Amino acid sequence: MLFSLKDKEAVATGAGSGIGRAVAHLLAQQGARVHVTDINEGQAQEVVKEIEKEGGKATAQVADVSNQQQVADLFAGLSRLDILVNSAGVSHIGTAESTQEADFDRLYNVNVKGVYNCLHAAIPVLKKNKGGVIVNMCSIAATVGIPDRFAYSMTKGAVYSMTLSVAKDYLKDQIRCNSISPARVHTPFVDGFLKKNYPGKEAEMFEKLSKTQPIGRMAKPEEIAGLILYLCSDEASFITGCDYPIDGGFIKLNN
C-alpha cells in the first residue's frame, strides 16, 4: 500500500483541532499509532475516540508546547518515535505598530519556541531509533508579504529557517526534516475570527477571503494532511530540507 505508516509511532502537536486533527486522523488511517498532543485535554481525548472508532491506534497527550518541561516529559515517556508533525500554532492580526508586546511574546512562545521545544526533545529519540521524519507547519507568510500579519509572519520565517538547519544537521542521523506552507485553510480559527470581527457578515467575508486564493476557495484541513502524509512516508525518502507551498496558486499566480 502506498504511503503506509504501519507500525510507525507518530507525535502530532496541536492535534485537538484544525489541521492537526486532520493529520492525526490520516496518519492513524495509514497505520501509525498517533500520540494526539494538545493543550486541551478534552479535545485530544475526543480525537483519540474518533480514531479508535475508525479502527486506528492513538493516545492522548496533554502538553503546552511553549513549556519545555512539559514537552520534555512527553517525549521522555515514548519508547520509540518515527514521525513528528509540528502543527501546533496560533495566529494574530496586526502590523508592527499595532502588535502589542504580549501578543508578540505569545506568538513567539507557541510558534517558535514551541517548535524548538519539540525538536529539542524529539531529535534524541529519533537518533536513538536510527532516524525518522519531521514535518514543520510553515506558511506562505514566511516568504510573501501579507497585510496585518507582522508577528505571525515573523514566527513562520523562523520555522522555515529551523527546518533547513535541522535537515542539514541531522543528515548523518537519517532524520529528514521538511516543512509545508499553506495559504488560507478553513479551520475553526477562521470561523472564530469572522464571528468576532464581522458579526452578521460572516458568509460575505468568508467568500471574500476565499476569493483571495487564485483557485477560488480555502483549503480543507484534509488536503493539508495529505501532503504531510506523503512527506512522512517512505515514498518521500529522498526529500529533506524542503518547503512545500500548498496555496491554491497564491504565491505564483496572485498577480
Name which of 219, 24, 240, 46 is nearest 126 in CA terms.
240
- Unique residue bearing C-alpha cell 474518533: 50
Tell me which of 116, 152, 230, 244 is the catalytic residue: 152
Evaluate whether 10 touches 51 at the Cβ level (below 8 Å). no
Q: Which three cell numbers stand for residue 217?
A: 476557495
CB within 8 Å of 73: residues ≥ 6 apart:
63
Q: Any catalytic annotation for residue 152?
A: yes
Residue 245 neighbours by CB distance under 10 Å: 20
How do 132-137 and 33-38 pair as beta strands? unpaired
Instruction: Provide the annotated active-site residues.
Output: 152
